[in-house]
């Protein structure tokens, strides 16, 4: 059987372009302005939002990457759950999707592509999303993902940069998918744990999003390639607030700290730390492997959102009732200014 992760050049997980390089590429480009563009590149968020009428806007996002797991069906499911996630993170409802396929027609059997697409479709079906088309190119390395369009009310957009003092932060999925998939390449992960992590990545953020929509949420994003602290940093920058995180309260897959201590860290973790580490003050009591975990790039990670502290109990109860049993309060928004992240044990 083809081991999909062995076909990925460099053996690493899908690294995003470094943000500084992307900024350089975009800098000075004249991006057209439009009164109906409610969320665009001027204030980038999880997805773009464009107003159609006073009561309807469309939310648009796109994501694709090479395989991080060996089973093609699982890879398709994970890629689809990941692509839909940014719509949920904006408070939207995904409606239509288009496949993006890069496939090595000479190096791989087409039955593998079929399984990838079946996996993607199974998650779209679960989410109530219609596949309307797609595009494929012959490429030396398999990559799959989707562009997704959702609906949202123009006044009910959940942005990531709207933290307020007195709020707590809740994360809905465990961290560690980057470290686990790195350790799995070395054959160190038991099939049982791998199953748990694959199911975690293939789980839609839909149930969590449905709960969140009914709560007085301040800010919301999803945790993906920049890691927990990278995405938290995006929430903090420009918010005028600082946050305090309790590292031991952050949900994580079992074994990740041990593998981290062995140096089984994905390359993206180091670039995440290099990019945002300057915003973070670690209490020396937080062990290095736990610090690293907070920068681990996530595939199809959970939602990270803020809401008033007195609502935290209700939020957790509703999330647990909706099947989001891994959700936990991970920190709070402090009143002092400075836009810093403090991590205590």
Neighbours of 21 (CB within 10 A): 10
Whichever of 57 and 189 has its CB closer to Co ion, that residue is 57
Instruction: Please indicate whether residue 27 is annotated as part of the active site.
Output: no
Stretch that binds Co ion, among 83-91, 98-106, 107-115, 205-213 (CB under 5 A): 83-91
Q: List the one residue from 70, 74, 86, 257 that touches Co ion (CB under 5 A).
A: 86
Is the Cβ–Cβ distance between 269 and 227 less than 8 Å?
yes
How wide is the angle at C-alpha 314 spanned by C-alphas 93 and 57, nearest 5°?
Answer: 20
**Which tokens go with 97?**
């999707």
**Identity of the residue, 158 or 290, whose beta carbon is nearer to Co ion in the bound complex:** 158
Least CB distance from residue 268 to Co ion, whole Å? 14
Q: DSSP per residue over 219-264, as a string?
A: -EEE--TTHHHHHHHHHHTTTT-EEEEEGGGS-B-TTHHHHHHTT-
Tell which positions 11-70 bind Co ion, by CB under 5 A: 46
CB 156, min distance to Co ion, A:
18
What CA–CA distance (Å, rounded) separates 86 from 59? 9
d(Cα 218, Cα 166) in Å, to the nearest integer? 11
Q: Taking a C-beta distance cutoff of 8 angstroms, is the pair 120, 57 a contact?
A: no
Report in angstroms how near the CB of residue 46 gets to Co ion at its nearest.
4
Least Å distance between CB 120 and Co ion? 17
Helix (H, G, I), strand (E, B) or coil at 15: coil
CB of 89 to Co ion, least distance (A): 5
Range in contact with Co ion (rule: CB under 5 A) among 82-90, 254-262, 264-272, 273-281: 82-90
74, 222, 234, 292: residue in contact with Co ion (rule CB under 5 A) = 222
The site string for Co ion over 181-220 (x = CB under 5 A, - otherwise) reads: ----------------------------------------
Nearer to Co ion, 89 or 247 (CB): 89
Alpha carbon distance 227, 272 (integer Å): 7
* 271 to 310: interface string for Co ion, x by CB under 5 A: ----------------------------------------
Q: Are 132 and 208 in contact (CB under 8 A)?
A: no
Segment near Co ion (CB under 5 A), from 79-87, 186-194, 208-216, 236-244? 79-87
Contacts of 11 (CB under 8 A, 6+ apart): 5, 185
Task: Report the residue number whose CB is nearest to Co ion.
Answer: 46
The DSSP 8-state label assigned to residue 297 in this structure reads P
Q: Which residues bind Co ion (CB under 5 A)?
A: 46, 86, 222
Report the catalytic residues: 13
């Amino acid at each position: 059987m083809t081991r999909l992760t062995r076909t990925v050049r460099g053996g690493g997980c899908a690294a995003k372009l470094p943000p500084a390089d992307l900024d350089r590429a975009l800098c000075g480009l004249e991006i057209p302005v439009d009164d109906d563009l409610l969320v665009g590149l001027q204030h980038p968020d999880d997805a773009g939002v464009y107003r159609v009428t006073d009561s309807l806007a469309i939310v648009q996002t796109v994501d694709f990457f090479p395989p991080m797991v060996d089973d093609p069906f699982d890879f398709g499911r994970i890629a689809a759950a990941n692509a839909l996630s940014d719509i949920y993170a904006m408070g939207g409802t995904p409606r239509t999707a288009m496949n993006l396929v890069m496939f090595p027609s000479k190096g791989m059997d087409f039955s593998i592509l079929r399984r990838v697409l079946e996996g993607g479709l199974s998650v779209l079906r679960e989410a109530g999303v219609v596949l309307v088309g797609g595009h494929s190119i012959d490429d030396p390395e398999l990559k799959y993902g989707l562009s997704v369009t959702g609906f949202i009310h123009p006044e009910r957009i959940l942005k990531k940069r709207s933290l307020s003092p007195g709020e707590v932060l809740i994360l809905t999925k465990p961290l560690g998918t980057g470290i686990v998939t790195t350790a799995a390449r070395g054959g160190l992960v038991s099939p049982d744990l791998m199953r748990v992590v694959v199911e975690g990545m293939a789980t839609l953020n839909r149930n969590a999003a449905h709960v969140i929509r009914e709560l007085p949420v301040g800010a919301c994003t999803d945790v993906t390639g920049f890691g927990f602290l990278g995405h938290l940093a995006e929430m903090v920058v420009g918010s005028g607030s600082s946050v305090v995180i309790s590292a031991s309260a952050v949900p994580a897959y079992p074994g990740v700290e041990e593998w981290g201590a062995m140096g089984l860290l994905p390359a993206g973790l180091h670039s995440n730390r290099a990019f945002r580490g300057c915003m973070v003050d670690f209490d020396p009591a937080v062990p290095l492997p736990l610090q690293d975990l907070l920068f681990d790039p996530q595939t199809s990670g959970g939602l990270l959102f803020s809401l008033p502290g007195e609502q935290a109990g209700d939020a957790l109860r509703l999330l647990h009732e909706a099947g989001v049993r891994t959700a936990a309060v991970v920190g709070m928004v402090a009143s002092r200014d400075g836009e810093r992240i403090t991590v205590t044990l």
